[in-house]
Amino acid sequence: MDIKIYNTLSKNKETFKPLKPGVVGMYHCGPTVYDHAHIGNLRAYVFADTLRRMFEYNSYQVNQVINITDVGHLTSDADAGEDKMTKALIRENMPLTLNAMREVGTKYFDAFVENLKELHIELPQAFPRASDTITEDIELIKQLEKNGFVYQLSDGVYFDTGKFPHYGKLGGQDLIADEADVHARIAQNTDKKNHRDFAVWKLSAKQNVGEESVLIGWDSPWGKGFPGWHIECSAMSRMILGQPFDIHTGGIDHISVHHNNEIAQSEAAYGTSLANYWMHNAFITIKKAKMAKSEGNFLTLDTLELEHISPLAYRYWLLTGHYRSTVNFTGTAVQGAQKALIRLLSIVSGYPDGGTVVSTYKERFWAFINDDLDIPQAVALVWELIKDAKVSPADKRATILDFDRVLGLNIESVPHVELPVADTKDIPLEITVLAEAREDARKTKEWAKADALRTEIQERGFDVIDGESGFSIITR
Ligand code: AMP
Ligand code: ZN
């Protein structure tokens, strides 16, 4: 079956054609590890994970890369403002050294990987770190220098966008309110030849630490400094996947500047395109504003867990919105998703093993996911299947577990799924799952099953009390 994906480059859904039959190389712009990822950032990786799973469902071998930006990302994506990693060092009272920068980066990199695991995201084959690939950045800049695309100013080496006729071919200028205004407002080097020119190498500026004045960075032919954020992605993707590779992804905020800059550098240096398909996820908003660190309106998986929302419930909620649609986060919406997930888990855990995948449903599921990753329709199909009285419970289970290879809700492990609790007095989600299953058994008068489930709940230190309007769970 053909796979169709929306390519930001052509603004069309295209039939995917891999560079190498049966293999797909994907690069996802990774986090800048100066703080914890927020749940908006994590949408980018749940999207990347479902994309990977869709390809695997289609029997592709997937080579997947998520880079780790641990140097060189300034607070403005357009190369101005403070360095995010330096900000982290100052915030955490750490010395301004490359070793300390690496250390703080490792701390948030580890936290990021934990988040991915909690969301049941399959880890990529490679997590290259920008601080490990400085040599590759320098090579790329030298190549650009050789081809006449860069010039040096007092604070760094800049890419000359005026020399690259296709600059901006990914579009996205409409995504920033007024680009000229954005560029005017941030402190830019006014000697730049064109306002869109961007730094590929930034020279280190002296930082005052108490009495001391320090200069942190790496030696290069242009002076001590650090790579530009854009050049890092061009170098890391090429190093692992080659150039061109198949698919490059990121959030839509990366289209206008970061990805247009990656394309310009890579193509100007090596004369071939960087990636054949560019895919972008839309934002998570909160009160209709983009969730962002700078807006102070962000939530992390930890904050959700304090509200007793499990990471898998957040994943389920994300799956119910198409990756190209903006979704507005509300507590009510995600609590609704958690309820639906609990119901789904309890229903499927009650179905017996030994069934076979129902081909008519599989065909429809497959068509949805291959149509630009229409996961919301695929989730709706799961509920349609559950309600279908013509399909046996065992076949339903087999089919849903097959679908879960793409949905990634870890359905098979229920009720032994380890879901987090904020403290020991709280009711773990798995207990709620068991209680829901018991309630279902009672409704269908399967008394022996209901009793067995209650014993299981009691053995885990909890109990259920049946009331007029449903059950409540208590600790024993
Ligand atoms: P950053 O660490 O800022 O480079 O962001 C990591 C990823 O998260 C990038 O792909 C961003 O485009 C994406 N991202 C940032 N904020 C949001 C948001 N509110 N909703 C969805 N994706 C986002
Ligand atoms: Zn990138």
Instruction: Tell me, using a 6 A CB cutoff, whether residue 29 lines ligand 1.
Output: yes
How many angstroms does the Cα of residue 199 sit away from the middle of ligand 2?
Answer: 15
Instruction: Tell me, using a 6 A CB cutoff, whether residue 28 lines ligand 1.
Output: no
Same fold, 4-285 and 307-413: no
How many angstroms does the Cα of residue 360 sit away from the middle of ligand 1?
Answer: 37
Look at 113-117, 127-131, 341-345 and tell me which has the smallest mean pLDDT. 341-345
Of the chain, the end-to-end C-alpha distance in Å amounts to 53
What pLDDT was estimated at residue 427?
76
Token representation of residue 27: 């690069």
- Structural domain spans, the chain: 4-285, 307-413, 429-475
Kindly identify the ligand whose nearest atom is closest to the C-alpha of 236.
Answer: 2
Longest dimension (CA), the chain: 80
What pLDDT was estimated at residue 10?
97
Token representation of residue 431: 């207990």
Instruction: Tell me, using a 6 A CB cutoff, whether residue 251 lines ligand 1.
Output: yes
Q: For residue range 64-98, what is the model confidence (pLDDT) as tens digits?
A: 999 999 987 766 555 555 788 888 888 999 988 89
Nearest residue (by CA) to ligand 1, atom 8, is: 41
Q: Is a pLDDT exceeding 70 seen at residue 416?
A: no
- Using the atom order of ligand 1, give the atom closest to the CA of residue 252: 12
Look at 4-13, 425-434, 461-470 and tell me which has the smallest mean pLDDT. 461-470
Instruction: Tell me, using a 6 A CB cutoff, whether residue 253 lines ligand 1.
Output: yes
Q: For residue range 237-281, what is the model confidence (pLDDT) as tens digits?
A: 999 999 999 999 999 999 999 999 999 999 999 999 999 999 999
Kindly identify the ligand whose nearest atom is closest to the C-alpha of 260.
Answer: 2
Q: For residue range 131-188, what is the model confidence (pLDDT) as tens digits?
A: 999 999 999 999 999 999 999 999 999 999 999 998 999 997 654 444 444 443 344 6
Mean pLDDT throughout 322-351? 93
Its CATH class, for the domain covering 4-285, is: alpha beta
- Taking the C-alpha atoms of residue 164 and residue 167, their distance in angstroms, rounded to an integer, is 6
- Taking the C-alpha atoms of residue 344 and residue 429, their distance in angstroms, rounded to an integer, is 13
Closest to 202 (Cα-Cα) out of 291, 115, 76: 76
**How is domain 307-413 classified at the architecture level of CATH?**
Up-down Bundle (1.20)
What pLDDT was estimated at residue 75?
60
The whole model's pTM is what?
0.85
Residues pairing with 23 in the sheet: 20, 61
Instruction: Tell me, using a 6 A CB cutoff, whether residue 41 lines ligand 1.
Output: yes
Instruction: Tell me, using a 6 A CB cutoff, whether residue 232 lines ligand 1.
Output: no
